[in-house]
Chain A
Amino acid sequence: MSDKVKFTIDGKECTGKKGQLLVDAATENGVYIPVLCHWKDVEPAASCRICTVRVNGNYITACTTTVEEGSTVENDTPEIRDMRKTIVEMLFVEGNHFCPSCEKSGDCDLQALGYLYQMMVPRFPYAFENREIQASSPKIFLDKNRCIFCKRCIRMIKDDQDRNYFAFKGRGNHLEITIDEKLAAGMTEEQAQRAMEICPVGAILRKEVGFITPIGKRKYDKVPIGSDIESQNKKGGEK
């Protein structure tokens, strides 16, 4: 028996492998499903919910669902777009996102989703929470104002003994990302660079390299997030 699975996303015929996550299969088929916490081949956190799709009529996160033969997936419908926009707006008001002074601006996935969904203003009131910046590590800043709790740094950045540099502290409203300052003192350049790259927002930034890419040349200045995936989609996908 073949392990190929056939399904559709917004009417487009797609093929995946048995047991493959829907979000990864979509990417291989040239369909962009937005993600903020997902990272291929890393255990899912499913914390951001931005990848929510409708599979056979039920809402579910594409980063925790595997492809099923014959299933019908809705991804880029007006309803789902508005739901995703709502999530983006909630993330914007929940943290302190002063894009004009953020080094990640132009390369930030959260901001890019705001652009994609044409968020002009969030529909919720700003929280203006008091959050600190942890700047004691020699290689990176941890700006808690911008953390969206995707858990990528916790899941992915470890030292050679598998110890975590990053961890969550507190619960609910008081949840915050924090860094093990002692361990972080020994962080290598590569680890610092990697941590900055996997953080979808500007919460983890390498020191001394800020604003290195000029405006106009940054990742999302000219093209929307996901267009690299959609451009593999030779037929259709144009909007």
Chain B
Amino acid sequence: MSKPIIATASLAGCFGCHMSVLDIDDRILKLIELVDFNKSPINDIKNFTKKCDVGIIEGGCCNTENVHVLKQFRENCKILISLGQCAIMGGLPAMRNNIPVKECLEEAYFNGVTVGENKEKIIPNDEELPIILDKVYPLHEIVKIDYYLPGCPPRADLIWTALEALVTGNELNIPYELIKYD
């Protein structure tokens, strides 16, 4: 039987969740025995080359590009996992959710204390740039998500325990210390 295939992506996240995946230490050797990786920043495969079994996504959706990638994952993966607080509830990027986008952009490009000179008052709007959304959305408010692994970042042991249970089909028992929202 062929190995399950995993794809991963970081949307509006800080890559901390991916770091936590690497934090499973030498168990990563066991992981690559159990699974194959497709599209993922870990191996730098940019596009899906086949259908995957499990998609793991860090970060919420803050712009149109995030939504596009998320939908691609939904189409190409049988199971989708929201990894971390940002994917689950928007996380720290969602702290802008009750500030109007206009105000956010003006703070970022005109008024912020770290902004350099911007005499012409330009907010970048090249058509190559993804458009920022009115707020940061949790993944499950955009596509169907099958499983959630909370944490900021999720503990490496949580990721390992959950992935192992998922690919081996063993029962999942999560110890108390592994479910955290920080």
B55 within 8 A of A: no
Q: Which of A106, A115, A125, A130 has the most CB of B within 10 A?
A: A115
State in angstroms the CA–CA spacing of A133 and B91 once bound together.
Answer: 19
Contact (Cβ within 8 A) B182 A99: yes
Contact yes or no, A129 B138, CB < 8 A: no
Chain B 128-169 near chain A by CB (<8 Å), digits 1 or 0:
000000010010110001011110100000000000000000
User: Is B149 in contact with A120, judged by CB distance below 8 angstroms?
Assistant: yes
User: Least Cβ distance of A10 to chain B in Å?
Assistant: 21
Query: What's the least CB distance linking B80 to chain A, in Å?
Result: 13
A120 close to B181 (CB less than 8 A)? no
Q: Mark B75-113, 1 if CB is under 8 A from A, else 0.
A: 000000010010011111011011000000000000000
Contact status B135-A100, CB under 8 Å? no
User: Which stretch in A70-78, A182-190, A193-201, A219-227 binds the other chain?
Assistant: A219-227
A128 touching B177, Cβ below 8 Å: no
Query: A121 within 8 Å of B by Cβ?
Result: yes
B88 contacts A98, C-beta separation under 8 Å: no
B150-A121 in contact (CB<8A):
yes
B182 touches A105 (CB 8 A): yes
When the two chains form their complex, are residues A129 and B180 in contact, meaning their CB atoms are under 8 A apart?
no
Residues of A within 8 A of B180 (CB): 115
Q: A128-B94, A128-B135, A221-B177 are in contact. Are A99 and B141 (CB under 8 A)?
A: no
Inter-chain contact B98/A98, CB cutoff 8 Å: no
Q: Are A121 and B140 in contact (CB under 8 A)?
A: yes
Residue pair A126, B92 in contact (C-beta under 8 Å): no
Report A-chain residues with C-beta under 8 Å of the C-beta of B176.
115, 222-224
Complex Cα spacing A122 to B145, Å: 13
Given A115-B176, A121-B88, residue A100 in contact with residue B138 (CB < 8 A): no
Cβ contacts under 8 Å, B95 to chain A = 96, 98, 101
Decide yes or no whether A111 CB sits under 8 A from chain B: yes
Tell me if A222 and B94 are in contact (CB < 8 A): no
* B152/A100 in contact, CB under 8 A: yes
Task: Give A222's nearest chain B residue, CB to CB.
Answer: B177
Q: Does A34 contact B (CB under 8 A)?
A: no
B179 within 8 A of A: yes
- Kindly state the separation between the CA atoms of A121 and B138 in the bound complex, as whole angstroms: 10
Alpha-carbon distance between A215 and B182 when the two chains are bound, in angstroms? 10
In the assembled complex, A118 has its CB within 8 A of some CB on chain B = yes
Interface residues of B in 55-84 (CB under 8 A from A): 82
**Contact between chains at A100 and B98 (CB < 8 Å):** no
Q: Does B28 contact A (CB under 8 A)?
A: no
Can you report 5 A-B residue pairs in the complex whose CB atoms are below 8 A from each other? A98-B85, A100-B152, A101-B95, A120-B149, A121-B148
List 7 other contacts, CB 8 Å, given A118-B174, A121-B140.
A96-B98, A101-B95, A106-B182, A114-B179, A118-B179, A125-B141, A126-B138
A contact residues vs B (CB 8 Å cutoff): 92, 96-102, 105-106, 111, 114-115, 118, 120-122, 125-126, 128-131, 215, 221-224
Interface residues of chain B, those whose CB is within 8 Å of chain A, are 82, 85, 88-92, 94-95, 97-98, 135, 138, 140-141, 145, 147-150, 152, 174, 176-177, 179-182
